[in-house]
Structure 1
Amino acid sequence: MDPFASFRMPRPGRGQTPRRAFAMHAAGAARLAPIALALVLAACSGAPATPAATSAPVPTATATPAPTPTAAPAFPVTVVDDEGTSVTLASEPLKIVSLTPAATETLFAIGAGPRVVAKVEDITPYPPEADALPVVATFQGVDIEKIVSLQADLVIAGGLGFTPPAAVAQLRNLGVPVVVLYAESIADALAGIDLIGTVTGQSDEASVVSSAMQVEFDRLAALTEGLPKPLTFYEIDATSDIYTVPAGSLYEELLRMAGADPITTDASYQISLEKLITANPAVILLGDGGYTTPADVTARPNWSGIKAVVDGAIYPVNDTLITRPGPRLVDGLRALINALHPEVHA
């Protein structure tokens, strides 16, 4: 087998069935969460240093400052990734490859962007600073040879099959450290940001971002407490089969936090039209709003009796913000709140 084989990734587009489709397709990019950006800028500017302790003066000598404690070195470092694999980095990585859009956003948000040498293809690219990076992974495959030729000393990959496991194994066999991340909850998403900070030597900066996100999640969640929670169908895709959020997922958690009572399904992401009609949602949110309009939904056979269709409560949302577990996930929650409860002005 060619050690530099190109491993296939999930195909994009309409009718895509794997859960990675939910994480990859999107309706565009938006700004970073203002509170996170403000805190990151504050962290980058630095706070006044605490003066070092000095020894007591004696009559025969000038007082000498006590040695300033040296911070423990960040490397070597060993972490356990989201698949339970122990990964050791002997030194701070200088050539990082990002194989998920969320990782790309996170690396730039925590100040590791200048060390990123390549990325996965992103159909809704963000941040702009990453636009010029070479692409080493697409829906057609992962270019192992290119990653090795770039002398990558850290690869951040996606779990649950987002990055093909065979590609992860091949990179590790070639001596490239690979950290695999995936988020099934908001807590997982925040922990992933912190883990990226650890493996890049940017722990303090990552903590600033994740802590600010938690503050904003808490603030936004408080806005919807006590509000009516409409029965809501979040449409991932309905080109042929119908796909929505699975129970117990990050996306169900976001919808509930936004003030919805979401219709959920199993890990297949699939839901039958019969089940959807029986549920009779009061609101339909179009995560596939990049190519599906409210008028398209209204025109579908057998959908005319659904309450959301009758009432015209069909709203496109920015799926990228909602399904990408990176620094802008709080903006995804804000987008959901504004669609479900515009009176709140989140």
Structure 2
Amino acid sequence: MTGPQRIVCLTEEPTEVLYALGEQDRIVGISGFTVRPPRARKEKPKVSAFTSAKIGEILKLEPDFVVGFSDIQADIAAELIRCGVEVWISNHRSVDGILDYVRRLGALVGVASRADAYADGLRRGLEAIEREAALLPRRPKVYFEEWDEPPITGIRWVAELVRIAGGDDIFPERAAEPMAKGRILEDADEVVRRAPDIILGSWCGKKFRPDKVAARPGWAAIPAVRDGELHEIKSPLILQPGPAALTEGVAEIARIVRAWAARAA
């Protein structure tokens, strides 16, 4: 077996990818937020949150490779690097970036051909959803909300998945912003003006409250609110830049869009 043998995953997506590739035996520690695959929670010790980690516990596991995600984990990475651990922090933000991430992680652990085949399968699944969406008589305008106080709009891969599923994200210019602070809505009335047909909520780590959203001042005029088109997509399915978003996450968006299109027809 080539590549690292003792891997700590600081977020869920490397865990999900390594299990999908049949390389779960290399994983010695995971994020406490991991829910996919469910067996990982039972089998692996939890050594990190998203913005913090038990550095001492990680070092006790004697990892030869630690995988994390984004600038938010820069301090954790720096501390581990200072302790002599090899760390890879990916910072992908798009659908293509997720597919490339799967390929690179597979290559780093020595199973490049298996990872390529897996990524190709994920892409074929997206193309099938896109072909089906092209047959819809109308495309809904979609507002995706990642947080409520303050309202934060969807990140780039979410906007891309909405498009693949047959909808059009109403804040494409904000989806291009890599940092959450660039996607904060200073004026929530902008949602009213852009008049989405569907509102999707995925409040990172807490339950989406359609009643609360519908009760915002002036929001009764929004087509989505008027027609009761407010839907939750569970955050583990859509807010992790890994396989879940490209499978169950996009499938859930597509289901909601198809149902809307059927009613609109």
Does the TM-score normalized on the shorter chain lie above 0.5?
Answer: yes
Contact kept, 8 Å, 2:35 with 2:236, in 1: the verdict is no
User: Residue in 2 aligned with 1:270?
Assistant: 184
- For the pair shown, the structure with the greater C-alpha radius of gyration is 1
Structure 1 runs (4+) deviating above 3 angstroms are none
1:183-262 superposed matches below 5 A: 183-227=92-136, 228-238=138-148, 240-246=149-155, 249-262=156-169
Question: 1:116 offset after TM fit, Å?
Answer: 0.5
Offset from partner CA, 1:163-220 (integer Å, 9 cap, x none):
1x12212222322111111322111101111111111122222122111101111111
2:197 counterpart of 1:279:
no
Match of 2:49 among 135, 138, 141: 138
What one-letter code is carried by the residue in structure 2 that aligns with 1:242? P
Q: Spell out the pairing of 1:282-321 with structure 2 (5 A cutoff).
A: 282-288=197-203, 291-321=207-237
Deviation of 1:294 (Å)? 2.7
**Match runs of 1:1-40 below 5 Å:** none
* Structure 2 Cα separation of the partners of residues 344 and 305 of structure 1: 20
Please list every run of 5 or more consecutive structure 2 residues that lacks an aligned counterpart in the other structure: none
Tell me the TM-score normalized by structure 1. 0.67
Mapping 1:75-224, distance limit 5 Å:
92-122=3-33, 125-132=35-42, 133-139=44-50, 141-161=52-72, 163=73, 165-224=74-133
Aligned CA RMSD, in angstroms, stands at 2.2
Per-residue CA deviations over 1:6-54 (Å, capped at 9, x if unaligned) read xxxxxxxxxxxxxxxxxxxxxxxxxxxxxxxxxxxxxxxxxxxxxxxxx
| Structure 1 runs not aligned, ≥5 long | 1-73, 76-91
Whole-angstrom distance in 1 between the partners of 2:47 and 2:89: 16
Q: With CA pairs under 8 Å and 6+ residues apart, which has the higher RCO, 1 or 2?
A: 1
Query: Does the 8 Å CA contact 1:111/1:205 hold for their aligned counterparts?
Result: no
